[in-house]
Amino acid sequence: MEQMDNKIITAVKNGLKGFEIGAYFIGCFFENYPYYEYFNSPNIEVRKYSNAVYMVKLGNWRVGCAFPFYSKQEELARYTLAFIENKDTIRSEFPSIYLQILNNWRILLEMCDEGDEHWEINIPSILIEKIRKEIDLHTLEDFLDDDDLIRELNI
Tell me, what's the pLDDT at 80? 93
Mean of the per-residue pLDDT values of the chain: 80
The single-letter DSSP state of residue 68 is: T
Scanning 39-72, the segments in alpha helix (DSSP H) are 44-62
What CA–CA distance (Å, rounded) separates 80 from 82?
A: 5
Amino acid occupying residue 5: D
pLDDT digits (tens, 9 = 90+) for 89-141: 999 999 989 988 998 888 888 887 776 655 566 677 888 888 888 877 765 65
Tell me, what's the pLDDT at 1? 64
Longest dimension (CA), the chain: 46
* Cβ atoms of 128 and 109 closer than 8 Å: yes
Residues 6+ apart with CB under 8 A from 111: 62, 121
pTM above 0.85, yes or no: no
